[in-house]
Structure 1
């Protein structure tokens, strides 16, 4: 296997790494490689997929469907398969991945390692709760684990790939009516109405776009989307576009973002509407714009995503107010209600409300994110490791009280620290507290 030196980044492009990368195409080749962190499509925003001055194993060529039980809906796939491709292959057969994040380019290995959540978390929990088996590569040997392997299981799901290289996973797929989505869109005129709509929603899939530039009585205004799978004529997907170069700094200036958000809000009639969409357009709307991260320019961007308990909605409102008055927010802001479901020691979800907002990588934005992180800590919330690039070890230790249990399992699974990444080092996650 040839190692190639490359410089690479997470999706936010604010942090980079340079090191040797191997891209095995067969599990037999993978097993012969020296231990190193596994990476997928690098759709985590910060430094989770980075190993500067070290080696990494690119798993994206290990993307095969290994087995499918049509009666039960359990599919076993290699970890390099993307969740969007899994949906494309099986939706016409009446099955969907049980949980899907906001991009179809996330690999299955990445979905396990981050225990991703989706627009249906309030009903069925996180991705890891629907995994029936995982195969790990530890010290050159394959090890198949299941939920009965309690501590290793909980350290692996949401565990940043630190218990071994995830080579395959068996997933209990979700029965669906077909490969189209019936989507109801409604305006929310302000924060209280937006929260009330999220609380009242009984739809299978629910998500809120929020105008992070709106202030005063309009603070928190946005659009609630509720979706159900359906059958029938599949609408023609909108053509893909691409961002061919790094946008200039003024492309996401305050006046442009405010104007875009106002127009986007008004695209939905005051009395709402119901539309039919291809599945990928509902679940992965930004995937149609290839390299959209270049809109933030060559310096990249940061995403702040937190979740706070239900009784701390006021704290989240205060965060949004601070964001709106900063003039730094982009059009990409999402508000969701989450349920209780989580599968691992370091899994992000908790019952509450989650807010995600993108910011251009500037000094003022980094300072603002630091303030938002402190507010999250004070509210008893959590930051999402798949998005983080700026938090401190102390913050993460406070947010994830099961960190010591995770550290104990990881120390046994990878005693030499061969799987450590830039993120685990920055946050001192592998260091016993």
Structure 2
């Protein structure tokens, strides 16, 4: 069948394997090269088998929970949305969560996803206690920071290329409500936005919507939003009546593919003007539900159809702290001059992280969506060069265009990763369209 990532680009003909039991996974691993696929929320080709794709979403059982420690044991196909549905009413929330709750636990580990609290709490791997992994010979091994630590380190952020994640134990965060105390800070330019991040470094969560088409003195104007889990005593009677936000908003779906002309420089500029204006007017502090803060796009099912039938590609990079202002400014100037800017542009501050192959490093990460057009590859190549020149790296969970040469120029760890794959036997056993494209 034809499969794609969330960006709907690229598309590939894949043979989809649907094992009925986890024991069957080990047998399949020994028979054919494959890649595991959870809920298909990687944007590009990371979960497209070349050509065999192993469906893992059906393995979605929660197995055990320790109320004292907050440690949940679950199969790899469990989605964070399911974890929240079960455990938020009991006062627990994912310790680290990306911008969608529809990612599986296996996918979150494979991409070592990060959230709005990376500057303070790190990436998803910091809350993973252990992983059960089917390796290249089909043998299931447990990996943790204490047991098989090298395998654990390479698997977190290894994009599924070290083995098939079967089960994991993850640590949840204790919370008193499902409400977030949000404070919105308008920033008229990039420097002021970064200053706000630094001034609010003690905040648990921080994120900014950034206008990627504004130029001149308004280059990088943003709405910086900090957040804290609201305590029970901070809730008004209205929020207290629905303390854990059980009366969630009904999700709506995009009913059809938008014509690509709908997202043009004029419409995006108009949206950005309106969004920034409304955000600046509504500056200050208030309580919002967790969905609105962490997962605003999840309220619009199939929002990827907004970009049309050709799909979209996301460009996400991180630039180290010392070069971040210059690097992000250079990216924004090039994007603005191209007229291909995104209205879904996000800036986040990231904290220190040393890891084998995970994306994060201390600095600023910029993420932007672009409709796939004939000119997309050329623009991405230019943006990649800017990132490399400023010492940055790229997020493989979002990538669809990167070349092996650009990856190696940006990330010296790539050679170590490929050497580990060759030595362990995983190179010939776990194969994706991404690994083939990037020669991993």
Q: What's the CA shift for 1:134? A: 0.3
State whether structure 2 residue 277 is matched by structure 1 residue 280.
Answer: no
Distance in 2, matches of 1:107 and 1:157, equals 14
Say which SS state the counterpart of residue 377 (structure 2) adopts. Answer: helix
Residues 79 and 168, structure 1, Cα contact 8 Å, conserved in 2: yes
Report the equivalent of 1:318: 330
Say which SS state the counterpart of residue 185 (structure 2) adopts. Answer: strand
Q: What's the CA shift for 1:274? A: 2.3
Distance 1:141 1:248, change over 3 A: same
Q: What's the CA shift for 1:279? A: 1.4
State whether structure 2 residue 356 is matched by structure 1 residue 345.
Answer: yes
> How big is each residue's C-alpha offset from its partner over 1:264-318, in whole Å with a ceiling of 9 and x where there is no partner?
1122244713232221221111011111111111111111111001111212111
Distance in 2, matches of 1:213 and 1:379, equals 21
Report the equivalent of 1:120: 117
State whether structure 2 residue 145 is matched by structure 1 residue 134.
Answer: no
Report the equivalent of 2:403: 392
Say which SS state the counterpart of residue 101 (structure 2) adopts. Answer: coil
Range that drifts further, 356-365 or 376-385: 356-365
Count residues with an aligned counterpart: 422
State whether structure 2 residue 115 is matched by structure 1 residue 103.
Answer: no
Q: Which runs of 4+ in 1 moved over 4 A?
A: none
Structure 1 gap segments, 5+ residues each: 1-5
Distance in 1, matches of 2:302 and 2:187, equals 30
- Output aligned runs, 1:11-410, within 5 Å: 11-33=6-28, 34-35=31-32, 36-52=34-50, 54-138=51-135, 139-148=137-146, 149-201=148-200, 202-230=202-230, 231=232, 232-234=240-242, 236-270=247-281, 272-312=283-323, 313-342=325-354, 344-410=355-421
**Please, which of 423, 427, 430 is the counterpart of residue 438 of structure 2?**
427
Report the equivalent of 2:236: none
Distance in 1, matches of 2:86 and 2:182, equals 22
Say which SS state the counterpart of residue 369 (structure 1) adopts. Answer: helix
Q: What's the CA shift for 1:261? A: 1.1
Distance in 2, matches of 1:364 and 1:141, equals 45
Q: What's the CA shift for 1:93? A: 1.8
Residues 161 and 426, structure 2, Cα contact 8 Å, conserved in 1: no
> How big is each residue's C-alpha offset from its partner over 1:317-371, in whole Å with a ceiling of 9 and x where there is no partner?
11111112221112100001100135x4110000001111111101223211110
Distance 1:41 1:241, change over 3 A: same
Distance in 2, matches of 1:192 and 1:146, equals 40
Residues 129 and 341, structure 1, Cα contact 8 Å, conserved in 2: no
Distance in 1, matches of 2:57 and 2:375, equals 36
TM-score using structure 1 length? 0.94
Residues 184 and 224, structure 2, Cα contact 8 Å, conserved in 1: yes
Residues 162 and 426, structure 2, Cα contact 8 Å, conserved in 1: no
Report the equivalent of 2:237: none
Distance in 2, matches of 1:266 and 1:239, equals 27
Q: What's the CA shift for 1:398? A: 2.6
Distance in 1, matches of 2:353 and 2:178, equals 26
Residues 237 and 281, structure 1, Cα contact 8 Å, conserved in 2: no
Q: What's the CA shift for 1:416? A: 6.1
Distance in 1, matches of 2:427 and 2:68, equals 43
- Root mean square deviation of aligned Cα: 1.6
Residues 143 and 149, structure 2, Cα contact 8 Å, conserved in 1: no
Range that drifts further, 397-406 or 120-129: 397-406
Residues 258 and 307, structure 2, Cα contact 8 Å, conserved in 1: yes
Report the equivalent of 2:235: none
Distance in 1, matches of 2:91 and 2:205, equals 17
Structure 2 gap segments, 5+ residues each: 233-239
